[in-house]
Chains A and B, each alone.
Chain A
Amino acid sequence: MSALTAREISLSADERLLLEHVSFHVACGELVGLIGPNGAGKSTLMRALAGLAPCQAGAVLCGDRPLSELAPAQRARLLGYLPQGAIPHWPLPVEAVVELGRLPHRRWWQATTAADRLAVERALGMADVHHLRGRPVTQLSGGERLRVLLARLFATDPLFILADEPVAALDPYHQLQIMELLRAHTRERQAGRGGVVVVLHDLNLAARFCDRLVLLANGRVAVTGAPREVLQPQWLRAVYGVEPRLLESDGEFAVVPWRRLPD
């Protein structure tokens, strides 16, 4: 069970086609960035990968088994999903929020075990939220809250993490920190290496942190490949409608959307 694969999936809602024959895969050890303009179908693809939106055609496979064949708890142990703009509803202490990540690991009659507590401690440490453990989660800043939600995912310790625009509302420092944490999941998961799919609007973060990028446009995959191959001027012009400047620094490259192309 080493890859999460979407095979030719199509998905429509209210008679509008949101995804059309999209194929996608993420392997263990890989950080894949999903980019594209607003309304391109990024969140829909994430929800389909998480098993939240049923596909009208095609299938999502975890390893070689269709996602729809897995029991809910089993699926929850394999896939962790971080929705866009997620805010916890009650002022739970941070520790309790992280503990929610252990729910798929025990049956309803089982109390928390030593393994649960260990996983929670490890997740608190990994996301650097140890010092916040007693604080009500609703009182945290945006960056802190996101780290707590990531710690919740780390506590589940899924094979794949699907994060939908996790850095959208964060300052540069915290954006880098969150990307580093997602990167960490691909390397030092508790049981081997994990895979991550992350939706990004910031092309520079996509260029610097992702192993591979998938550029979506109008519900289809426009291009996929290494960041240098995808973030080419012709693609950015065609899909985003912007003229980019490409910069080199320390052997890495950055993309600056420079000006809008005339409509």
Chain B
Amino acid sequence: MRPIAYHWLLAGLAAALLLALGLVLQQGPMTLNWQAALFEAGSVDATILWQVRLPRALLAVAVGATLGLAGAALQGLLRNPLAGPDLIGVTSCAAFGAVITLYFGLAGLAWFALPAGGMVGAALAVLLIWLLAGSRGGALILILAGIAISSMVSALTALALSLAPNPFAMSEIVYWLLGSLANRSGADLAISLPFMATGWVLLLSCGRYLDALTLGEESARTLGFPASAARWRLVIGVALSVGAAVSVSGNIGFIGLVVPHLMRPWVGHRPGRLLAASALAGALLLLLADLLVQWFPTTQELKLGVITALLGGPFFLHLVYSARSRAA
């Protein structure tokens, strides 16, 4: 595939995102009267638009952008196409952190306590992975370490929820492990967005470092990028954005893995350019997935993670298969 001009690619993705946003806001059990929704404050239409659909859609955009961006950044940092915030256990650790804060009464301490719990969890996961696999560990170590961390932490999450004084433990467990954007409000967006946005800035500022890293760690250093500074920016950026995103959406899988792969040929495989493209594409993909969830004729609304896993799983298998045939 020929890489097209970078700014056209970003403009195209942004336009598609706006289009999808319009479509999503239109969609729902009730057809929206835009006239009323926009200009008659207090009307049912306005309430639905501003308090139900818009927060959910914007949250899908923000969480999707976070996952796509974090996936691209982690793949660049670890120089490993199989890295993704979910595969290496970052999202499950973030979910665990959020669950601990939420169910053991810590969330009431401060408005930012919930995302902070998620961020601490995500930061611990990134550091653990870095220690275990680093950039020398190779794909196998990375994935195995990720599987171990994910399953352990998911079990701990389920355990914590079962121990908590909570009659809805089962449905809560499903929510945290699979992720969903149902019944999210503007408040959820407000507590998580500042941290996600800070994380985005940190991650996007690492583009040149990730480009240089293509040539290996030592070459990057001799190209004028002191290793530790940029690496910390990446780790903190991932922790902030993914931690905050997961604390309001649960653990939504595969977006962070799939999106950078889809975008890579379009940016000529440049890790730096991949960042912004993956953020936009991640937002678009999650927004559409959330639309699909609401369309699906199930009695209870499907969890978002189910859709992303159904789409992402086969894609992951395809990646493994093509990696295998390349190695052969």
Contacts and interface: CB of A to CB of B under 8 A. Distances in A.
Interface of A: 47, 50-52, 72-77, 79-83, 86-93, 96-97, 100-101, 103-104, 108, 136, 149, 152, 156
Contact of A100 (B79, B221, B223): B223
B173 interface: no
A41 to B, nearest CB: 17
Given A81-B219, A96-B268, A96-B270, A90 B224 contact: no
Given A72-B224, A73-B224, A100 B215 contact: yes
Contacts of B216: 83, 86-87, 89
A92 B222 contact: no
Contacts of A50: 218, 222
B218 A103 contact: no
19 contacts: A50-B218, A72-B225, A76-B223, A80-B222, A83-B218, A86-B215, A89-B213, A89-B214, A89-B215, A90-B214, A90-B269, A90-B271, A91-B269, A92-B269, A96-B268, A100-B214, A103-B212, A104-B223, A149-B215
Nearest to A136: B269
B221 A88 contact: no
A79 to B, nearest CB: 6
Given A75-B224, A92-B269, A96-B270, A103 B215 contact: no
Given A76-B223, A90-B269, A90-B271, A81 B213 contact: no
B218 A47 contact: yes
A92 B208 CA distance: 14
Task: Determine which residue in A47, A50, A74, A92 has the highest number of CB atoms from chain B within 10 A of its CB, and name it.
Answer: A92
B17 to A, nearest CB: 24
A186 to B, nearest CB: 19
Interface in B233-282: 264, 268-271
B211 A103 contact: yes
A100 B270 CA distance: 10
Nearest to A50: B222
B189 to A, nearest CB: 30
A100 B219 CA distance: 10
Given A100-B211, A103-B208, A152-B215, A92 B223 contact: no
B214 A81 contact: no
B215 A79 contact: no
Given A89-B79, A93-B268, A103 B214 contact: no
Contacts of A72: 221, 224-226
A82 B269 CA distance: 22
B212 A88 contact: no
B219 A92 contact: no
A83 B224 contact: no
A88 B215 contact: yes
Interface string B192-211: 00000000000001001001
A51 B222 contact: yes
Contacts of A76: 222-224
A52 B222 contact: yes
A100 B226 CA distance: 16
A47 B205 CA distance: 28
B43 to A, nearest CB: 46
Contacts of A83: 216, 218-219
B120 to A, nearest CB: 29
